[in-house]
Each structure stands twice: as structure tokens, then as C-alpha cells.
Amino acid sequence: MRVLVQRVSSARVTVDGETVGAITPESQGLVALVGVTHDDDVAKARRLAEKLWQLRILDDQRSASDIGAPILVVSQFTLYADTAKGRRPSWNAAAPGAVAAPLVAEFAEALRKLGAQVATGVFGAHMAVELVNDGPVTVLLEL
């Protein structure tokens, strides 16, 4: 499982022109783009959620847990693109939707159980993600 985290001052995800998840510009937040591979499991999703919740990448070296920063979780199978050969990426390392969807949902739910305010995209949908990267700060989390 990979989580590409961006510190943001605002963000939103739209599907078919409708906003399905957002972080408003009142405070800093985090966008978590989540990719799942074949050997990932619920335990890994929970550990990554806890790592993200405690990650000190907000202003003054604070974490989302310190200030209650909102988190926008968006599924992103392309984090497992293999571009080693040729010009066309291979997606073989990305887990199929039947495996990935419940793990992305578990990741978001684990964040909620930790106390996070979580918004999400729609798994498998064509989403438009808009964000203002603050810093910029972008971090790749893996276990």
C-alpha cells in the first residue's frame, strides 16, 4: 500500500460535476492518494492510517492529530505504475478493484476511528481532483 500525502490549504474531488469530498480553505489539511497492491491487507491499511494521522508535516511540525486537520482520501491505482520498460505504463502491480476498494475504505475508516474528519472520492469513478499544495509538501508513505 502506498499513500502519497500532500499538505494542502484547500482541495476538492468532483465526480460528474458534483463535489463529493472537500477540504475548505479555513485551515491546513491533507490529501491522501491511496494505492493498493496485491499483498496488502487490513492491518497494513490501519498502520498507514495511524502513520498518516501522526505525521508531522503541518505548520510548526504538527500532525493532523494535533490540530484536527481534515483529510481527503482518494483512491489512486496509478501509484503502482511500472514505467521501467517502454512508454506505456503497466498496472500489473495494482490490486484489482475487488481487493483495493475495501482496503481504501478501511484506510478511511481507520482514520475516522482515530478521530480524523475524513472526506473521500468515489472508488473507481473518473474523478477531478483540485488542490492547492501548501509549501509545497508531498510525502510518500509505505510500509
The active-site residue, picked from 6, 28, 37, 77, is 77
What is the model's pLDDT at position 141?
98
User: Is 14 an annotated catalytic residue?
Assistant: no
Secondary structure of the chain: what % helix, strand, coil (to 5)? Answer: 30, 40, 30
**What is the mean predicted confidence (pLDDT) over 27-52?**
97
Cα–Cα dist 81/28, whole Å = 29
Return the H-helix or E-strand segment holding 37.
none
Query: Considering only CA atoms, which of 123, 136, 96 is closest in space to residue 20?
Result: 123
**How far are the Cα atoms of 25, 41, 44, 81, 96 from residue 8, in angstroms, in the given order?**
9, 28, 25, 24, 29
What is the model's pLDDT at position 99?
97
The active-site residue, picked from 6, 14, 28, 76, is 76
Q: What confidence tens digit (pLDDT) does each residue in 71-127 have?
A: 999 999 999 999 999 999 999 999 999 999 999 999 999 999 999 999 999 999 999
Report how many domains make up the chain: 1
**Is 131 domain-assigned?**
yes
User: Is 78 an annotated catalytic residue?
Assistant: yes
- On whether the CB atoms of residues 13 and 71 are closer than 8 A, the answer is no
User: Is 107 an annotated catalytic residue?
Assistant: no
The active-site residue, picked from 78, 83, 107, 138, is 78
Range of the domain at 117: 2-85+97-142
Q: What confidence tens digit (pLDDT) does each residue in 14-35 have?
A: 999 999 999 998 879 999 999 9
Here the CATH number for the domain that contains residue 132 is 3.50.80.10
**What is the mean predicted confidence (pLDDT) over 64-72?**
97
**Is 8 domain-assigned?**
yes
**Is 106 domain-assigned?**
yes
To the nearest 10°, the Cα dihedral for 54, 60, 66, 70?
-80
- At 137, is the pLDDT very low, low, confident or very high (cuts 50, 70, 90)? very high
**Is 90 domain-assigned?**
no
